[in-house]
């Protein structure tokens, strides 16, 4: 589900880019309406993608907590390498869900702030200046690093089993 949403957001982003390059001339009323439709589709896809990521993180959290509690209660393992790695994965899944939500909220704040500072931008959410794009990249770096750490820990669990 998350992967399908990523592809959907990617396709809509390509359409937006193509429309943006075509519409750098003058905007007509029909182009503005078409742009608003694209923006609504894109934002709904981003929201559903964020929701899917949070649901995916919660599922990972529940599975990992089940493994950790099973290791604690049933197998009486209190500190082996597998238990520590599972605990770290559990913690990282929680942090990943938190950062995903924080990035969604922060990106909306950045967009709102940009629109308040630049009301003359006729394309509104459609064309971003370089400084806005850099802010988005900075916000998503933390989540990317956490995903790499989760991948490494998952690989090490596979090796230990």
- Share of residues in the chain with pLDDT > 90 (%): 0
Helix H segments across the chain?
2-22, 29-73, 81-117, 130-160
In 68-85, which positions are buried (b, 16+ CB within 10 angstroms) versus exposed (e)?
beebeeeeebeeeebbeb
Asked whether the predicted pLDDT for residue 57 surpasses 60, the reply is yes
Check residues 160 and 122 and name the one with the higher pLDDT.
160
Looking at every residue in the chain, the average pLDDT score rounds to: 67
- pLDDT band for position 65 (50/70/90)? confident
At 118, list the tokens. Answer: 């630049």
At 25, list the tokens. Answer: 């001339």
In this structure, of 54-63, 70-79, 128-137, 147-156, the range with the lowest mean pLDDT score is 128-137
Q: Across residues 97-109, what is the average pLDDT? A: 71
pLDDT of residue 134: 65
Q: What is the rounded distance in angstroms from the CA atom of residue 35 to the CA atom of residue 12?
A: 12
């Amino acid at each position: 589900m998350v992967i399908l949403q990523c592809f959907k957001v990617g396709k809509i982003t390509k359409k937006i880019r193509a429309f943006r390059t075509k519409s750098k001339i003058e905007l007509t009323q029909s182009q503005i309406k078409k742009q608003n439709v694209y923006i609504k589709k894109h934002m709904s896809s981003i929201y559903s993608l964020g929701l899917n990521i949070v649901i995916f993180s919660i599922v990972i959290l529940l599975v990992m907590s089940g493994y950790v509690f099973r290791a604690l209660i049933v197998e009486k393992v209190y500190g082996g390498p597998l238990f520590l790695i599972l605990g770290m994965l559990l913690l990282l899944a929680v942090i990943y869900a938190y950062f995903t939500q924080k990035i969604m909220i922060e990106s909306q704040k950045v967009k709102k702030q940009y629109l308040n500072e630049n009301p003359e931008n006729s394309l509104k959410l459609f064309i971003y200046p370089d400084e806005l794009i850099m802010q988005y990249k900075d916000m998503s770096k933390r989540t990317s690093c956490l995903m790499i750490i989760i991948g490494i820990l998952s690989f090490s669990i596979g090796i230990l089993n």
